Structure 1
Amino acid sequence: MLRPSGGATANRLFKGAAYGCGMLILAALAVVAAFLLIRAWPAIAGPREATDAVIESFTGGRFTTFLQYVGPLLFGSVLVAALALAMAFFVAIGIAIFISQYAPRRLASGLNVVVDLLAAIPSVVYGLWGGLVLVPAISPFWDWVCRHFGWIPIFAGPASNPPRTVASVAVVLAVMILPIITSMTRDVFMQTPRLHEEAALALGATKWEMIKLAVLPFGRSGIISASMLGLGRALGETMAVLMILSPGFNYSFNLLKASQNQTIAANIAAQYAEANNLGVSVLIATGLVLFVITFLVNYLARRLTGRKVTS
């Protein structure tokens, strides 16, 4: 078998470049982690009295320790992100299945462009839309939910008006992460081997049964990865939350009341301008907590994805 001249050298160069790019990602992650740790160190290892005084000023005297301060913020971040993912997940999968399996080619091409454009819209635009359009418009709907489902604790009333609540923020974040999940799952579904689909149809499966037996199992790891990417964006979202949510420091599941929860990212943006040096360190320490949680979520998702692929 003849080999192109210089093929071995090109192979080594490509392998080295690919290896270097992989290491660059790890290096960037390490630099971010080191930056957060260094900037947060005065709050972590500094005098407790000074740090507690800063936290007390941030919370109006409600909390005096870092754990008391970061706990409700972490709870709010996870709650808002989880609700957004729950709202967006099944809609995104349905859109991806429609585009990849049911839509005519021209319609699918147009929908692909729309989905990709929506995924590229900056979060501040979603925040403006949510604060100026969605919040006033959705208030009657939350009132209706409160009247008919108020016996469920998470929908207990009275619903706040204007509804600058966790529920409204979750809707905006769901719209924000919807095109990201849709785009990734659509690409995965379109990579399903044609022979798998034809084999299922040849055995007498209907179109939906073929999707359930061939497309969804093939795209399972991609679905998990897309969901975790959307969850990561929702966890770290700042501007949309800051522009809509009325903040609070409670461990509350009441979705229709204002001033119940706050997220770490939005709290950093709200407090940063007026914080002194130690206050900035405290805020960065909360960012370090969010960094660790996000890393753990993506690590677990990666382990789960690998397990599904090998099983």
Structure 2
Amino acid sequence: MTAVTDMKSIPPAPVIRKTPKATFDLVFRNASFLAALLVLVLLAGIMLSMIVGGWPAFREFGLGFITSSVWDTQNEQYGAWPAIVGTLSTALIALVIGVPLSLGIAVFLTQLAPPWFKRPVATAIELLAAVPSIIYGMWGLFVFAPLFAAYVQIPLSNIVEGIPIVGTVLYSRSPSGLGIFTAGIILAFMIVPFIASITRDMLEQIPSVLRESAYGIGATTWEVVRHVLVPQAGVSIIGAIMLGLGRALGETMAVTFVVGNANRLSASILDPGSTIASRIANEFNEAMGLQLNSLIALGCILFFVTFVVLVIARLLVARVKKF
């Protein structure tokens, strides 16, 4: 007796996926390689053009270009030290103020905020990241600087006047609200959205089982954050901080509005000063000859400082991964 085979019971033949042609694979591989190579070529081109453009200034003044505080366009004497100090000072102030605020916002949004409040705050942080820098500068010049002068600089100067060291650092000779410290505060407001957003995303990606396990053995919220969340997201937090530092070092328009643009070096952080970016923005449009070369040399120094910051960031990340 012959068994009747039901055709519907026979499973369909498996679909055999055709391997892509070798030509397409080769094109994709070469296109990816060229895209990566393009970044290196652009970076090398920018570096080479800045070195070539700033070389006359380095050749004319030598190491004195970095250590000198003179910036005299009439006598063709240029020194970068006040701008370098101003750049590093404003960036440091921005980090000191902005990093704790950013980490606090990220921890609050991921651990403490109620659902109805979490979404509006997170959206506001993301919107702050999209605000143009010139808006921060205008707000700092017309709103923040007068209030800072009236309620901080003048009372603080009256208190610390004559006190050794503290009086030198915090006394303002011209309390207009503009200065290194004001620029640092504005930069802190600008880097907070970036650091807070990245840190929040990284904290949210940590498996919830780690938090629940810590709470299950009696850990407090602070202990969970300190011993569970921060170690797990340490590498990402360092990367976020370095991203904010990179923006603080290179910010131009906002700092130009509020730093005071004074070509001198003062011991007080409340006095006007300048940064590399603000000096280039103020003088580049009308610069000629050796002045133009000196401004390009300033850009070369800023490029080098940013590169050093990147190297330090990589070393910190490697150290955190090790431990």
Q: Please give the range of the TM-score, normalised by the shorter of the 2 chains.
A: 0.7 to 0.9
TM-score by length of structure 1 reads: 0.85
Greater CA deviation, 108-117 or 22-31?
A: 22-31
For 2:18, the aligned partner's letter is S
TM-score by length of structure 2 reads: 0.83
**1-side partners of 2:220 and 2:93: how far apart?**
33
Q: 1:169 aligns with which of 170, 183, 203?
A: 183
Q: CA RMSD of the aligned region, Å? A: 3.0
For 2:157, the aligned partner's letter is C
| 2:288 paired residue number | 276
* 1:144 to 2:155 alignment: yes
How many correspondences in the alignment?
Answer: 301
Q: Kindly tell me: are residues 131 and 20 of structure 1, through their superposed partners in 2, closer, same or farther at Cα, counting changes over 3 Å?
A: same
| 2:300 paired residue number | 288
Q: Kindly tell me: are residues 112 and 271 of structure 1, through their superposed partners in 2, closer, same or farther at Cα, counting changes over 3 Å?
A: same
Q: Kindly tell me: are residues 205 and 17 of structure 1, through their superposed partners in 2, closer, same or farther at Cα, counting changes over 3 Å?
A: farther
Shift of 1:27: 2.8
**2-side partners of 1:178 and 1:56: how far apart?**
32
Shift of 1:306: 2.1
* 1:204 to 2:218 alignment: yes
Greater CA deviation, 271-280 or 181-190?
A: 271-280
What does the per-residue CA deviation read over 1:154-207, in whole Å, with 9 as the maximum and x for residues that have no partner?
A: 544245331211111111111111111111111111111222212212222122
Shift of 1:309: 1.6
Instruction: Work out whether residues 196 and 214 of structure 1, in 8 Å CA contact, stay in contact via their aligned partners in 2.
Output: yes
**Other structure's SS at 1:192 match:** coil
Identity %: 31
**1-side partners of 2:237 and 2:312: how far apart?**
14
* 1:59 to 2:59 alignment: no
Instruction: Work out whether residues 96 and 182 of structure 1, in 8 Å CA contact, stay in contact via their aligned partners in 2.
Output: yes
Q: 2:249 aligns with which of 235, 242, 247?
A: 235
Q: How does 1:1-311 map to 2 (within 5 A)?
A: 4-6=17-19, 19-45=33-59, 58-59=71-72, 64=77, 69-139=79-149, 140-150=151-161, 151=163, 152-153=166-167, 155-158=169-172, 160-258=174-272, 261-311=273-323
Shift of 1:6: 2.6
Shift of 1:208: 2.0
Shift of 1:72: 1.7
Instruction: Work out whether residues 58 and 271 of structure 1, in 8 Å CA contact, stay in contact via their aligned partners in 2.
Output: no
**Other structure's SS at 1:273 match:** helix
Instruction: Work out whether residues 165 and 256 of structure 1, in 8 Å CA contact, stay in contact via their aligned partners in 2.
Output: yes
For 1:272, the aligned partner's letter is F
Shift of 1:15: 6.4
Q: Kindly tell me: are residues 57 and 254 of structure 1, through their superposed partners in 2, closer, same or farther at Cα, counting changes over 3 Å?
A: closer
Gaps of 5+ in 2: 1-14
Instruction: Work out whether residues 200 and 213 of structure 1, in 8 Å CA contact, stay in contact via their aligned partners in 2.
Output: no
Q: Kindly tell me: are residues 56 and 86 of structure 1, through their superposed partners in 2, closer, same or farther at Cα, counting changes over 3 Å?
A: closer
**Other structure's SS at 2:286 match:** coil
Instruction: Work out whether residues 251 and 277 of structure 2, in 8 Å CA contact, stay in contact via their aligned partners in 1.
Output: yes
| 2:3 paired residue number | none
Shift of 1:48: 6.1
Q: Kindly tell me: are residues 163 and 48 of structure 1, through their superposed partners in 2, closer, same or farther at Cα, counting changes over 3 Å?
A: closer
**1-side partners of 2:55 and 2:45: how far apart?**
15
**Other structure's SS at 1:132 match:** helix
Shift of 1:279: 2.1
For 2:171, the aligned partner's letter is G
Instruction: Work out whether residues 252 and 277 of structure 2, in 8 Å CA contact, stay in contact via their aligned partners in 1.
Output: yes
Larger radius of gyration: 2
**2-side partners of 1:126 and 1:90: how far apart?**
20
Higher helix share: 1
**2-side partners of 1:32 and 1:73: how far apart?**
21
**1-side partners of 2:160 and 2:216: how far apart?**
47
